[in-house]
Chains A and B, each alone.
Chain A
């Protein structure tokens, strides 16, 4: 190994000073860090998410009210109106799916559930405040065997195939996985 000269000693000393400075900054600098208050990104994200849920709740409250009052047609009209302002909003799709399901329009309901889950996976999450997991699970458990049998009997029916594909999609999302 070559002998260390003055340059090596000076560089090594500088390196040591920098390492000690970093350790010192991390140990005592946290409390005085003026930017720390604005840097809790995880919390900011959480606050934004809670605000979004609150906004959705307020936005779609009239629909929920109409639905509770048994005025399903009016609720669907209100959803149409909101969809013109917020065309990519999954919450409208999920409410539409639920109302259509209550009215017995199974195929259309499945289509809307699929659209909602594609737009926002929170609806199949167990932990999400928006979750509709149990309802979707029930729908899949009940309707998948039925639509599979109907599609086997009518293999030419494109509509039935689309619904079945939608049910398989929901089943897959309910199974979990990483996406």
Chain B
């Protein structure tokens, strides 16, 4: 629906695209076609804050492996940007008939599966501990500041007048949709990689898996009803045919998401619940969003450039290395 209201094609919701746009608006990169402070992004986090407070689930917690989490956030966005889209967008693209996403879906599922193998083998990045202090409020406060920037934009906020960042749903509608989805996601614990993980572990008995299936079906119905369904490999919006790199990018995202407890969207929601560990990943994602544009890491319709390929490999080295460092061995 957000696409009908003005968002770019196939990008009704895309956490990585929204982060790249927002990072550009804050001056973290200089691509003039990708600068817009997306209200949906702010809505996701603040919606989660509201839902967590109302449900008495807002708890400051965190304190484990801060630097690996920060870097993991950067590499989450590297994987998404090389593929062109976060896991949510990937499935929306698939439901709109984009068959180039098949490689990414395979990569994500295999990444989740490898992550599960790692967890089973004793890889443990560290658990969050409840904190009596206010560690969990800083990321929500940061997003409150971003809300103020949206409503009363200061002179240093950039806004594209052309390119995909110039396409957007009206601010208040986008904000309302973001808030609604933030509330919904906080209450339901919706997570794309979490759903795949639960599906692999428990099959059809996993509630998250059923929620995910409903998400897919509603995506398909909306695509068909609004005439946005175009089946095929070619001519798809914001897609490339570098299948191997799409696969590896999403493998990186799946692997990191399982080891750190959630896809990029879930990390935003958790940061709104007071999880400072997730908050650090969100900050990493913002840094990553700036870097993928500044360093030409992000994939384009023309394909994935050299720096994108190198960044994905460095990301895999990072995550595999951490799997060795953080493995708890018995005996």
Contact = CB atoms under 8 A, between A and B. Distances in A.
A80 interface: no
B162 A128 contact: yes
A142 interface: no
Contacts of B27: 41
A9 interface: no
A176 B167 CA distance: 10
Interface in A1-56: 36, 39-42, 45-46, 49
A172 interface: yes
Interface string B230-243: 10001111110000
B12 to A, nearest CB: 10
Contacts of A127: 161-162, 166
A46 B27 CA distance: 15
B237 A46 contact: no
A175 B85 contact: no
A178 B161 contact: no
A interface, by DSSP: helix, strand, loop or mixed?
helix
A118 to B, nearest CB: 5
Chain B contact patch, size range = 35 or more
A175 B300 CA distance: 13
Contact of B237 (A41, A121, A175): A175
Contact of B163 (A40, A41, A42, A125): A125
B17 A118 contact: no
Interface in B107-160: 154-159
Contacts of A168: 234-235
A112 interface: no
Contacts of B237: 172, 175-177
B239 A172 contact: yes
B84 interface: yes
A94 to B, nearest CB: 15
B60 interface: no
B10 interface: yes
A110 to B, nearest CB: 14
Contact of A176 (B8, B20, B84, B298): B8
Contacts of A172: 234-239, 301
A120 B301 CA distance: 13
Nearest to B301: A172
B84 A177 contact: yes
A178 B33 CA distance: 10
Given A42-B159, A172-B236, A177 B32 contact: no
Interface string A107-136: 000000000001001100101100000000
Contacts of B302: 118, 169
A36 B156 CA distance: 9
B271 interface: no
Contact of A39 (B155, B161, B299): B155
Given A169-B301, A176-B237, 18 more contacts: A36-B155, A41-B27, A41-B155, A41-B158, A42-B158, A42-B159, A46-B161, A49-B161, A118-B302, A125-B163, A125-B166, A127-B166, A168-B235, A172-B234, A175-B236, A176-B9, A178-B17, A179-B238
Interface of B: 8-11, 14, 17, 20, 27, 32-33, 84-85, 154-159, 161-164, 166-167, 230, 234-239, 298-302
Interface of A: 36, 39-42, 45-46, 49, 118, 121-122, 125, 127-128, 168-169, 171-179
Closest 10 CB pairs of A and B: A177-B238, A177-B237, A176-B9, A171-B235, A175-B237, A39-B155, A178-B17, A178-B11, A168-B234, A40-B155
